[in-house]
Chain A
Amino acid sequence: MSRAHAQSGTDTKQALVIVAHGSHLNPDSSAPTFDHADTIRESGAFDVVREAFWKEEPSIREVLRIVEADEVFVVPLFISEGYFTEQVIPRELRLDGWDVSTWESDGTSADYATYEAADIGSTVHYCGPVGTHDSMADVIIQRARSVTDDPAVGPGFGLAVVGHGTERNENSAKAIHYHADRIREQHDFDEVKALFMDESPEVDDIAEHFDSDDVVVVPLFVADGFHTQEDIPADMGLPTDGPGEYPVPGTVEDTRIWYSGAVGTEPLLADAILERASDAGAEISDAIERVRRSTRDRDVVVGKP
């Protein structure tokens, strides 16, 4: 995009584009994307921050033309590598010559690849999904702290990291296991398990998977919707008064379940988005630290006690 009328600014302009699924039906689907984008806007890390969606507007097809920048960092707000990150988003962005093998990923290790967008010629650093970044472990822990209102949550608690799981994409489960394994090694929860909606081990028998009396359940979903508000609470046997209306903690058999709702609504997730862009070469100086501070200080209300 030329800037014929520019007189100022010879510095390289960098933009962040956060790509999410969005929804034709659910108005809340885009909310976490907008919230994290706003957090990053406030940090001043990028000249431009813009949201784009598969199902909403601006579409992934048209977002690059409205982002005025020399370098664009595209971060998919998706939980795992798979169909969307490997096929749909690169195709819709028109990344010229896209080849998924440039990520050299084992299913959870995609970092970034640099391409030119065929329609407008801008340089695009296309990042791996937010959900597989190492810093997501911190976001999950922060989610556990928020839902228990206990900054030291860990000892005496079990932690269930819950994914959708699908037989069609092995990476879907890999991402969940990856974070569960790292948290098990690095934190002091009594037990950490990866559980799934659509494959085993299933979240249905939550109490049977844990010896702990208290279990924090964090679903790895970007937005709250049918799966996180209705399916998973019902699968676990939490008493509910309608979508999203469940007790925190709720009791299933003799286990107290601290169900957090979608991890994607955790303010600290903005940090993982920034980390993705930083890994791809974005110059964002101390923005990561500032976002970490601001999102950790924020009061978070999770569920309805």
Chain B
Amino acid sequence: MAPATPEAEAHQALIEQIDIHQIPKPFRNSHWKPNQRRNKNIKTILGDAVRKEASLMPTQDNSGIATPAADDFDTSTDGDSTPANSTPASTLQPNLAQASRNLSKLVLERNMRSNGFSTAPNATYTNIESAPSLAHPRHYCDITGLSAPYTDPKTRLRYHDKEIFGVIRTLGQGVAEQYLEARGAHTVLK
């Protein structure tokens, strides 16, 4: 059993008080059984999405062969390309982007176009990420953060002056790599 010192008892009491495991939660649906494998990181989610899209493609393709007029939905109503041109091309070489679309997506896209932003693609988690900088990056000392006019050819560390260089030369094994990692310039072995 737990030691019965007053502090320990007080602590135990506090823990019992803030614990939410024992508190009844009547607002929860008792039949709610979540998917055991629902916890996914971003990488997995994005990977799954790509795979799903890829697996949709052949089925669309097949259905397109069975009913050749099916994917004309887009082009025929738009009127900016003739169905005569697009139909044989799409059956021979399926348009990947089009193939993965489902109905609701197409409808939404149509709505978007009516708003006047027809050229822009949808905003997704990946494509709103900022692009690499075009500006020339300034160099800063890896040790102190001051301006760094020099680079040590051996460790590839940037440094401020000869005293810092002395420090670099006395760094232990692997420390230089850690400094590089802080700048994202370390070597990654795969």
Q: Do A and B come from one complex?
A: no
| Residues of chain B having any CB pair with chain A under 8 Å | none
